[in-house]
Amino acid sequence: MDITVKNISKLYGSQKAVDDISFEVKTGEILGFLGPNGAGKTTTMKMITSYLTPNNGEITLDGISVTENPDEIKKRIGYLPENNPLYLDMAIYDYLKFCGELYGISKDKLNSRIDEMINVCGLTQEKHKYIGELSKGYRQRVGLAQAMLHDPEVLILDEPTTGLDPNQIVEIRKLIRELGKEKTVILSTHILPEVEATCDRILIINNGKIVADGSSEQLKKQAKGTETLIVKIEDGDANEIYNALQSLDTIELVDFADRTENRFEIQSGVELSSKRNIFNLCVEKGWVLTEMTAQEENLEEIFRSLTKN
């Protein structure tokens, strides 16, 4: 199911939580929502699930309007809310059964579906326990099981990996990636490596507006103006190397990263690469090049520069 969000705004009193956002998500795409706290990620997700109604604009799933046909939409969306609220006084199995009944899954299918979800989410050992007795990671799995129970075409996951241990995080990411092949997935997170690991596309929201939209490579390319290299050259005098580097025409700026170890931070000119020149220089002078690393502009820096107020 394709999700189309068109010019939606949401006001809380006089405060604009979401300000004229538009984007599209295609089937088989995993979209990652990034943004500082209070940027409007959760509000946008709540509007797609029809929990909240936008003040302006329209959200459609395969052409079906969310505001006009909420019941139709709700059946096709699996939603894991922020903080993963659950009925702590219910057993996992009963809880999933309750959810399945609400989704209108037929009785004969429901049991096998619940068993499948319990399996997929690794809850087999715990299935008769009360949710209140579970640790945070297991609760998160129950939340995911609940969201996927009715095999929805769209999955909306608000911070799906919070509270999970690293092993579980890897498992859940794998699961999301698998699901994302046939379904439309939107997930929000604070963890930047997570978006890189799971999402095909990233949407950065700040102050209710979209400030960046694209794959992580695209974003990096956009953000990266110049090449930065860390270079370590042995068997030479630091000052001599410094001067030689400075005189290369592709290099804009040379800086000592570590003077005693002959490590330099080198910034190339706009759209130029100095890697070959540095190598050739070392060959020519008989220096030994022991390290050359391209300083990638990482997502974290892009995120910070885009969301700084």
Partner 1 sequence: MNIIWIIAKRELNVFFDSLIAYIMLVLFLGFSGFFTWLFGSDIFMLGQASLGVFFSISTWTLFFFIPAITMKMIADEKKSGTIELLLTKPVTDWQLVAGKYLACLLLIAIALMFSLPYYFTVANLGDIDHGAVWSGYLALLMLSSAYIGIGLFASSITNNQIVAFLLALFISLFFHLIFDFLAFDVLGSAGLILNSLSTQYHFDSLSRGVIDSKDLIYFISITGLGLYLSSLSLTRRNSTN
The residues binding partner 1 (CB under 8 A) are 12-13, 15, 17, 46, 49-53, 70-71, 74-75, 77, 79, 81-83, 85-90, 94, 98-99, 101-104, 146
Q: Which CB atom, from 71 or from 249, has the smaller least distance to partner 1?
A: 71
Which CB atom, from 44 or from 274, has the smaller least distance to partner 1? Answer: 44
Place of tokens 């029809």: 50
Smallest gap from residue 271 Cβ to partner 1 (A): 46
CA distance 178 to 185: 11
Chain-centre distance for alpha carbon 226: 25
Alpha helices (H) along 121-233: 136-148, 166-179, 192-198, 216-223
Residue 68 CB, nearest approach to partner 1 (Å): 14
Distance set, CA 54 to CA 119, 159, 212, 267 (Å) = 37, 22, 22, 47
* Cβ(35)–Cβ(204) below 8 Å: yes
Query: Are the CB atoms for 149 and 113 separated by under 8 Å?
Result: yes
Edge to edge, the sheet with strand 15-25 lists 15-25, 3-12, 56-61, 64-65
Q: For partner 1, which is the closer residue by CB, 75 or 220?
A: 75
For residue 208, the minimal CB distance to partner 1 (Å) is: 13
What is the nearest approach in angstroms of partner 1 to the Cβ of residue 302? 29
- 67, with CB counted inside 10 A (0-12, 13-18, 19+), is middle
For residue 127, the minimal CB distance to partner 1 (Å) is 17
The residues with which 58 forms a beta bridge, in sequence order, are 6
Q: Report the nearest approach of partner 1 to the CB of residue 192 (Å).
A: 26
Comparing CB distances to partner 1, the nearer of 142 and 202 is: 142
Closer of 90 and 248 to partner 1 (Cβ):
90
Q: Which is nearer to partner 1, 88 or 288 (CB)?
A: 88
**Residue type present at position 62:** D
